[in-house]
Amino acid sequence: MDTINIAAEAFYLPPEKRPVEEIFRIEDIPFGTLSKHIDFKRDIGIEDVHVTDELPSVLALKAARKALEKSGCKAEDINLVVDFTSIPEDYVGPTWSAAGLVQHELGLVNALATAVNTGGCASYHLALKTVRSLMQTDPSIKTALLFAGDRTPDLNKTYYPITVASDGGAALVLTRDRDRAKILEVETISIGRLHDVWYVPGLQSLKPGEKPTEAHLHMFTKMDKFNEGVIPINFVMFRKVMAQLLAKLNLTFDDVDYYVYPTFSTWDQGYFKRRFKLDDTKVWTNGLKHRGHVQESDMVINYAEASEAGAIKKGDKVMVVSNGAGFAWSAALLEH
Amino acid sequence: MTSNVIGILNAAAWLPTATRDIANIFASEGITLTAEIREQLGVEQVHCFEGDSPTEMAVAAAREVLEEARLKPTELQAIIDFSTMPQRYVEPAWSMSNELQAELGAKSAFTLGYSGGGMSNLHVALKFAIGLIKGNEDVDTILLVGADRAIPGNRVISAPDPVSVIGDGASALIVTCRGPEDAIIGTHAQTNGANHDILNIPGGGIKHPTALDRYRLTIDTEKFAAVNAPALARQAGENLMRELNGSGGEIDHHIGANFSRSDVMAFQPDGGNASGIALDTLSRCGHMHANDLVFNYLALKQAGVEAGARVLLASHGLGFTAGATLLET
């Protein structure tokens, strides 16, 4: 089967920044320490994040335009456009996605527009896995544009006890004829019983007579389920999904040159590095302090920054991993 | 993948038991029902789900299809949701496919959904399912599920000149390369981005987060008036046949979605077996988005289809996503 490559990746972060200290003042954050040694507000490691009033589709569009330009592909070359946004969009899903809007605005006249949704950041990996499979087996799909655009609702930047979110967008162009970022394999594991560890209630959850507020679009956590269901297995699942992927390729962890990991917090990055015996030269952590977490776009942004900074070199095998909203663990191995 | 033939092993449709007749629905939504509107819509009643979440309908349809296929949930490697309407929580932050995985005990499956394609979401889901089976040695059996419930007080679409009436229901398909009953010869889907919002729920997203009065399934009537929807469904079928480059053969049965009587008749102006089936399903169930195609496919099979018959499923998606799938029974 043909090898599928990431011809280009790009992102857009709105210029306005907001100090996390200010966010913590205005948002409702539980008081106290997460564990014996961790205080959420003190130790998060994020100083400021990007904020905007622009719609998610606008952020997506800006990122998609940049990725398309960077790839050197023309609008009419794109055969497939896939939205992999993982938080609420301009309009209600799954009735609507931004894929059609992006198709229209960019003039992708030969594309099929759709969206992959799986709940949480795993949408990056599911989009990569399903689009790669389709491109490998359907010769009519030569080039695909994948994008996401995320703007959190008002007063919902903090995802306690995980991270603080930035607004932004990211996009990738997938082709089969470039000597860059070959997608070697994508693996994902879902644990369905954890489906509602993180959830957005929406207007469908309104009780009779209840007044709708923007909080209905806020991300909520079931803390008991998070603590009992996710925390004990999180890094076990990371190892499992990466090991499964490597086994498929007859590779070992020693063959991995670099890791791209979501940008959640200092302690989360620390656990990941300790668990997999990595130092700062092996995993991109630089985005945390002045960006925080940009949902599923973290993987695209961190990959782009690491490769632009020279941390990822030609031929490196790069493991891109994420845990999606507490129920899915995913890994993609790319050969840069 | 274990064989070159990928197809549908089994399908199932599930309807809630409660029903409401069209006069009652129109009266409760404050809309005048004339004989002319009644004739044009072709809906006499719809089934109404009174449970907690559409997931319950999805679970019922999925259990039925697994039982009929004599498959264990653990034999599934993926679950794909092709629903159109809002689910238990807001998508894409949440996906029904994960809750379904847990309810079924499909421990080996990964989970996802495709969205935005409305009644044509089934074709998109089928297209990706085929890609996953062909492209991954460890994927041979996938469950596709749709479960749709109307927003309360919002069954009549586009009043005061209604174009459709929404019913509740769910459907499920097993797509496999392990001895499918009906082969999938090909699938085609196309989109016109200019019509991305032709079917939409304007309130409740980031643009209008608290606009409860706009939390309604809405059709952009101006855009819809400019679309020859039935022609788009036919065109999707023609595009598919062209892609198959002569290997599609003669089509024995056409199956469309059940948007309205006038829409069904415009898609199949010469009537015939399949349009009779569509009109019957429409009359009893209303429009159930992409589930319509599965309901009509099952009804056609129950009515008796000769072995080797070519069945074309086609839908216009109101002008945004049009799609077609060709099956050989």
Gap between the Cα atoms of B188 and B243, Å rounded: 8
Whether residue B114 is predicted with pLDDT greater than 90 in this model: the reply is yes
Q: Are B142 and B80 in contact (CB under 8 A)?
A: yes
Strand partners, B175: B8, B142
Nearest CA in chain A to B122: A114
Residue A157 distance to chain B (closest CA, Å):
14
Residues of A whose CB is below 8 A from B131: 130, 133-138
Give the confidence band of A180 by pLDDT, cuts at 50, 70, 90.
very high
Cβ–Cβ below 8 Å for A111 and B191: yes
Single-letter residue type at B188: H
Chain B contact present for A190, CB below 8 A = yes
pLDDT, tens digit, 9 for 90 and up, residues A233-255: 999 999 999 999 999 999 999 99
Return the ∠ at Cα B115 (arms to B112 and B116), rounded to 5°. Answer: 175
Residues of A whose CB is below 8 A from B195: 100
Q: Quick check: helix, strand or coil at residue B211?
A: coil
Question: Would you state the pLDDT for residue B1?
Answer: 46
From its phi and psi, is residue A52 left (phi > 0), alpha (psi between -120 and 50) or beta? beta
Which structure tokens are listed for B224?
A: 């819809």
- All structural domains of chain B with their residue ranges: 7-180, 185-328
Gap between the Cα atoms of A220 and A199, Å rounded: 5
ipTM value: 0.97
Residue with tokens 């599923």: A296
Right CATH for B185-328 from 3.30.70.260, 3.90.1150.10, 3.40.47.10, 3.90.76.10: 3.40.47.10
Chain A contact present for B90, CB below 8 A = yes
Question: Mean pLDDT of all residues in chain B?
Answer: 95
Run of H or E including B197: none
Run of H or E including B135: helix B121-135
Residue A198 distance to chain B (closest CA, Å):
8
Q: Are A293 and A164 in contact (CB under 8 A)?
A: yes
Is A5-178 a domain of CATH 3.40.47.10? yes
pLDDT, tens digit, 9 for 90 and up, residues A132-156: 999 999 999 999 999 999 999 999 9
Among the ranges given (B9-18, B87-96, B273-282), the one the predictor scored with the smallest mean pLDDT: B273-282
Q: Are B239 and B232 in contact (CB under 8 A)?
A: no
Assign a CATH topology to domain A185-335.
Peroxisomal Thiolase; Chain A, domain 1 (3.40.47)
Query: How many A-B residue pairs are in contact by the CB < 8 A criterion?
Result: 267
Among the ranges given (A290-304, B177-191, B266-280, B315-329), the one the predictor scored with the smallest mean pLDDT: B266-280
Can A5-178 and A185-335 be said to share one CATH topology? yes
- Chain A contact probe: residue of B98, B134, B239 with most A CBs at under 10 A: B98
- Residues 129-158 of chain B with CB under 8 A from chain A are 130-132, 134-136, 138, 151
Assign a CATH topology to domain B7-180.
Peroxisomal Thiolase; Chain A, domain 1 (3.40.47)
Nearest CA in chain B to A83: B115
Chain B contact present for A61, CB below 8 A = no
Is the link from the previous residue into A153 a cis peptide, with omega within 30 of 0? no
Which structure tokens are listed for A284?
A: 């991109």
Residue B35 distance to chain A (closest CA, Å):
31
pTM above 0.80, yes or no: yes
Chain B contact present for A193, CB below 8 A = yes
